Structure 1
């Protein structure tokens, strides 16, 4: 039962809010209709049926007191004028079968009320035909000399105020529901805009400050989001400027050290020591450059629609010029919002790692559907997936997550920032990178980017 209720419950805030408003309203009106108007209708129905049965009982007594044709005609005229009921007498007749009631029509409580009233007040065999005439009810009563036919208008047995009351209840409920739906839709729209802005900002897309609207709490959340967005941009800009200054300050003394080592007079015995120091200085320059590239992974570049397949082919061509054997499998085009320069650096790092440790490299690009979130049947959008396979020694599964840590070197050479920079760029796009076993026997780097 709990699972069934969970499946039947609306998923969105708008649906749940409207359900919270509508359900108590329907329950309240149902209780009012049943308790108050239901009891009132029951009383009215019994009284109307009792009145018709009492009039027929009075007619039967008059006909039995004086069964002459003259008296019968006078009674019929008076009843038609005073009681609005048409009477006819069929001498020598007996009651036959009552026409069957259509099964599509519900059994009305007033039929039971009329039967009960006729049994109490008339006390003779009778039947009622509710089918033959849409405006009247034909009641037949067995008398000693024949059958008395009475045609009573339905309005004398049924109160039409039930329809008006039901229409009033449903109309007011529909009006209140419409007003609540319009109001809640405006409130939920502001929340959806806030969620969309947060999602776009998380994917690295510059959406600018959003306009606060809706309820006070939603406005406060929008303003807090704008302040957070501005603080993050300011932090990234300050960090980039600071690191640019650090780069300038570090490269100047390193350059002087290289020049000093190059111009330093030395003997043959000192040549090896000077060469080792020169390599250390070059290594420091590479580490500084790699660190700056890692720190600028988020960068200030804005996302623009770009062809991912063309970017992959271009990066593969550069890798081939460096001596790598790279096979590319990509569609004609796959356009999505990208930071082109950052993504080129991400893919170049992956291909460079594969080229250093393997002979063959295969790159594939394809679009795959996004898995639906928990509790939902469908997912929005899809993924653009880039896989980089190689036939190298690979990385043990227990060390794959460690390989993404900055400055974690699992092999000789390098600074240990290539995979860290690549994952940083992929996550800045709203995606990620995972390492898996490759069909070629080595390592597979799987990059997913939201479409």
Structure 2
């Protein structure tokens, strides 16, 4: 039972920082104002209401007693005139009238607390059958009292029974609460906006976009986080730059001896008995050059390229056309155009690696591009699937295939899938391997729109 209640309570709590902060402010405020209103209304105002009702009931009782002692019509007329002037009570007497059946006030609930106070006071100070009409006149309460020879009609102004202090107090409570809540909402909105900007900058930086330095704003802790984020950006850029320079030097140092080896092999005398060995050495040198290029591409990535609006369908068709020139049978199903914020050269390399991997192990390849609309809990996605009819990869080894230098099949450097996933994740997406409808392997690439 407690767990069920806690689950419903968590469902009602706002998920965002702004909503939760305002709820933390609003709930104690409402509880405090409710307690203050109850103390005032249930204490001070209740006493005032009883005293006002008792005063009106006492005056009506006094008028009835005087009427009983002075039955002369002239005296009764004088009494009514004096009551209208001095007591602010409009009186009229209906001789021979009968009030009829009066409601059971003990069983019925009053519409207003004032009605209950007046009924109690009339019962104590008049002690005669009566009824009160609170609905007919907005300014007055019409009270009818049964007398032995008729019905006395009394029209008492509502201001005699009601104090406007409640309205003033209620307006003060509501006004002060709204003012405090508005100031808190404005303040918290500025703080949350700074946090959202920091989160957006971190997300954009993680996707490889050059966002520049953040301007620290908001509370001291948020400013401290923004300054730390700026320092982190600077350190990462410095690290990437140093790594790129180092890799450029390594590339030059490795390729220079490989080039000399290739030239030396080309200049060797071509004896028939050595031709096969020379061809094997040339093939080894070319393989080493490809491995060096793959290692450097994996380590360097595509961090220097900036994101720009790019047609994903156009990139897929271009990569598929290159695969066809290499002898692959590739079918493409894609919309006319699908614009996304992409790093085109990096994504082209990602898709080329997937198609090259499929081409090595399959005869038929099918590439499809679809757009997944925005859902309730996730944004819109673009999805590229690369299917083949090859032998596939067992489900237990599919995640292993993404590890650098993992070679589950003969040939290759084991970096194609690792580079492809690295590029997809740098765009904010991912790659997963699944079973293909063609009987082989499916690589599913998801990219945020």
Tell whether the structures are fold-level matches, with TM greater than 0.5.
Answer: yes
Query: 1:375 aligns to what?
Result: none
Residue 436 of structure 1, aligned match among 429, 434, 437 = 434
Partner in structure 2 of residue 410 of structure 1: 408
Q: 2-side partners of 1:320 and 1:106: how far apart?
A: 89
Counterparts of residues 14-163 of structure 1 (less than 5 Å): 14-96=18-100, 107-163=111-167
Contact 2:386 2:442 in 1 (8 A): yes
Equivalent position of 1:333 in the other structure? 337
Give distance in 2, aligned partners of 1:449 and 1:236: 24
Residues 1:106 and 1:66: Cα distance change in structure 2 (over 3 Å): closer
Paired residue secondary structure (2:431): strand
Partner of 1:328: helix, strand, or coil? strand
Counterpart mapping for 1:22-421 below 5 A? 22-96=26-100, 107-265=111-269, 268-369=272-373, 378-421=376-419
Q: Are the aligned partners of 1:237 and 1:300 in contact in 2 as well (CA < 8 Å)?
A: no
TM-score of the aligned structures, taking structure 1 as reference length: 0.94
CA contact (8 A) 2:102 2:129 kept: no
Distance in 2 separating the partners of 1:422 and 1:88? 98
Distance 2:234 2:139 in 1: 75
- Asked whether the equivalents of residues 319 and 352 of structure 1 are also in contact (C-alpha less than 8 Å), the reply is yes
Q: Distance in 2 between matches of 1:98 and 1:333?
A: 83
Deviations for 1:51-76, whole angstroms, at most 9, x for unmatched residues? 01111111111111121112211211
In the other structure, the counterpart of 1:445 is 443
SS at match of 1:50: helix
Secondary structure of 1:409's aligned partner: coil
Structure 1 residue 431: Cα displacement: 0.9
Paired residue secondary structure (2:372): strand
CA distance in 2, matches of 1:214, 1:349: 45
Name the CA shift for 1:97/1:163 in 2 (closer, same or farther; >3 Å).
farther
Matched residue pairs, number? 442
Query: What is the alpha-carbon distance in structure 2 between the residues aligned to residue 99 and residue 33 of structure 1?
Result: 32
Matched position secondary structure for 2:330: strand
The 2-side partners of 1:262 and 1:339 are apart by 39
Name the CA distance, whole Å, in 2 between partners of 1:250 and 1:390: 36
Looking at structure 2, the residues matched to 449 and 230 of structure 1 have their Cα atoms a distance apart, in angstroms, of 27
8 Å CA contact 1:98, 1:129 repeated in 2: no
For residue 366 of structure 1, report the CA deviation from its aligned partner: 0.7
Unpaired runs of 5+ residues, structure 1, are 372-377
Q: Deviations over 1:336-388 (max 9, x none)?
A: 111111111111111111111111110000111356xxxxxx23531111100
How far apart in 1 are the matches of 2:19 and 2:102? Answer: 51
Q: CA RMSD in A?
A: 1.9
Provide the C-alpha distance between the structure 2 equivalents of 1:217 and 1:323, rounded to a whole number of angstroms.
59
1:7 aligns with 2:11: yes
> Are 1:98 and 1:128, in contact at CA under 8 Å, matched by a contact in 2?
no
Counterparts of 2:303 and 2:35, CA distance in 1: 63
Q: Distance in 2 between matches of 1:18 and 1:175?
A: 13
Check the 8 A contact 1:306/1:338 in 2, yes or no.
yes
Residue 337 of structure 1: SS of its match in structure 2? strand
User: Where do 4+ consecutive residues of structure 1 move more than 6 Å?
Assistant: none
Shift of 1:281: 2.4
Does structure 2 conserve the Cα–Cα contact (< 8 Å) formed by 1:99 and 1:131? no
- Work out whether residues 76 and 88 of structure 1, in 8 Å CA contact, stay in contact via their aligned partners in 2: yes
Deviation at 1:272, TM superposition (A): 4.1
Structure 2 unaligned spans of 5+: none
Of 389-398 and 277-286, more deviation after overlay is shown by 277-286
In the TM superposition, residue 261 of structure 1 has moved relative to its aligned partner by 3.2
Deviations 1:177-211 (A, max 9, x none): 11111111111111111111111112222211111
* TM-score, length basis structure 2: 0.94
Residues in 2 aligned to 1:449 and 1:37: alpha-carbon distance in whole angstroms = 61
